[in-house]
Structures are given as structure tokens and as C-alpha cells.
Amino acid sequence: MEKLTQEELATYEWQLDVPEHGVEGQERLKNSSVLVSRCGGLGSVVAYELAAAGVGTLILAHAGNVKHSDLNRQLLMTYDWLGKPRIESVERRLKELNPRLNIISVPENINENNVSDFVGQADVIVDGAPLFEERFLMNREAVLQNKPLVDCAMYELEAQITTIIPGETACLSCLYPEKPKVWKRRFPVFGAVSGTVACLGAMEAIKLISGFGEPLKNRLLTMDLRTMSFRTVQIKPKKDCAICGH
């Protein structure tokens, strides 16, 4: 395992004081890789927090060019990058924060052709995709390749998050056997809501890698920021799940 440099010890000195994390946990972060699907309202904040925390490698998949409608929530996109590839803006912003960061990126969204390769390169997956088709693909590959998956989602002022550990917990298909019929590609969103659940998703990934705390295993955390109410619901694997087969 690659050790921390003096620069890294200085950069992360405040979080090195977190009980059960310390230098050993920080070295695990440095030597880890995390796949972040989509660097939009959710994924951009996940990626930024993981880069700030010292994760060594980020695997990033995000297609398209920056549009005006991205700028209310996709915090790795900037006004001066309108019309240019989103993934280039993502890399530029993350490298400004952490020049030591190794970035593996493609200007594509997760699809049937690339999902196996991307998941295979990652120690942990954080799902920030808005489409169930992408979420289902990552869930399937996470189960097949035995990789932990942090699933984050939001709509309007509501959000939810759970952590999937293949062989231990319910998977996404246990919760959603099929794509909800009411789901639409465009939905109401404030950046502060997607950013809230994104920070929780980044923290789940950090805990999984470093090895401290209690991840949201078989628990679904839901939040309604309209009323600032939070609730944790116990979830169970489905014995007839077509993906995880519990």
C-alpha cells in the first residue's frame, strides 16, 4: 500500500484526527478507486467531496456538453464552459482542487457496453444517475462483481440513500423490481437537495473504504427537506429477486 507523503499528511491533518480513521484509513483512501456515475447534481458533489477527502482514483462517466440548465446544480460545470464537454469541466475542476488525483474518465454515460469495465476498476461505486436504466445496470454489475454500491436519488425536495453490499443486503432491484412508471427524465430539482444527499453518499463511500462507522446496510434513509424530516426504514432482501437471488 502506498504511504502518505508529507504534503498529504499536511492536507488531511484535520480528518486524520477522526477516531477509527487516522493515517491507516487515509492510506486506504489514497489507494482506493471509486466509480461515480454521472457528475451532475448528485455526482458532481460526490466527486468533489471524494477528491477533497483524498480518494486516489476517481472513475467518472458523464456524456454531453455543458448547458445553461446544468448550472443550478452541477457544481463541477462553469459558465465559461458552456457548449464544451462536461467531462472536461469535471476534470479541470477536480484537478484544481486536488492535483494528485488520478482521474479515469470518458464522455459517456453508463451503458451495457462499458458498465462491466467501469465497475471492474472500482473498489466502491456511487450511483448518481437520474435514469433507472443506468442504476439497474450498475446494481447488476455490483452484484455480479461483488462490489459495494451506494445508491443516491432525489426528486424535488425529497431524497433517499442506501448502501448495497452484495451477499449481505437488499439490492436496488429488491426495492424496485421494475422502473417506476411515473419516472421522467426531467424532474424538479434544487441543487441544495441533490448536494445534501451527495455529501451523505460521499461519506458512505469514505466509511466503506476506511473501515469505520456504520454504513446504511439494509437501511434506507429518506429525507424531505421541505419539512426537514428524516427517517430510516429497514429494508429486507427479496428471496425472489432476479438480480441478487436472496
**Residues 68-78: pLDDT tens digits?**
999 999 999 99
* Beta pairing class for 57-61 and 33-37: parallel
Give the model's pLDDT for residue 246: 58
Bridge-partner residues for 124, per DSSP? 34
Judged by phi (left if over 0) then psi (alpha if -120 to 50, else beta), residue 167 lies in left
- Strand duo 229-234 + 149-155: pairing: unpaired
Name the residue range of residue 32's domain.
24-148+181-216
pLDDT at 179: 84
Can you give the pLDDT at residue 172?
Answer: 95
Does 9 reside within a domain?
no
Q: What is the mean pLDDT of residues 5-27?
A: 97
Domain membership flag for residue 191:
yes
Model confidence pLDDT, tens digit, residues 103-146: 999 999 999 999 999 999 999 999 988 889 999 999 999 999 99
| Cβ–Cβ under 8 Å, residues 210 and 124 | no
Hey, what amino acid is at 72?
Answer: N
57-61 β-sheet, strand order = 102-106, 57-61, 33-37, 124-127, 149-155, 158-164, 219-224, 229-234
How crowded is the C-beta side of 207, counted as CA atoms within 13 Å? 15
Map residue 66 onto helix, strand or coil.
strand
According to DSSP, residue 131 is labeled S
- Domain assignment present for 224: no
Percent of the chain with pLDDT over 70: 98
Q: Give the orientation angle of helix 191-210 with respect to helix 22-30, to 10 degrees.
A: 110
pLDDT at 130: 86
Identify the pLDDT of residue 185: 67
Q: Is residue 79 part of a domain?
A: yes
Reading phi first (left if > 0) and then psi (alpha if -120 to 50, else beta), residue 204 is in alpha
**154 belongs to a structural domain:** no
Residue 184, pLDDT score: 67
38 contacts 126 by C-beta, under 8 angstroms: no
Q: What pLDDT score was predicted for residue 245?
A: 84
- Residue 67 located in a structural domain: yes
> Is residue 243 in a domain?
no
Give the Cα separation of 216 and 198 in Å (integer): 14
Q: Rounded to an integer, what distance in angstroms lies between the CA atom of residue 199 and that of residue 43?
A: 10
Domains identified in the chain, total number? 1
Residue 109 lies in a domain: yes
CATH number at residue 70: 3.40.50.720
Ranges 8-12, 18-22, 36-40, 197-201: which has the least confidence: 36-40
**What percent of the chain shows pLDDT beyond 90?**
90
Per-residue pLDDT tens for 166-218? Answer: 999 999 999 999 887 766 667 889 999 999 999 999 999 999 999 999 999 99
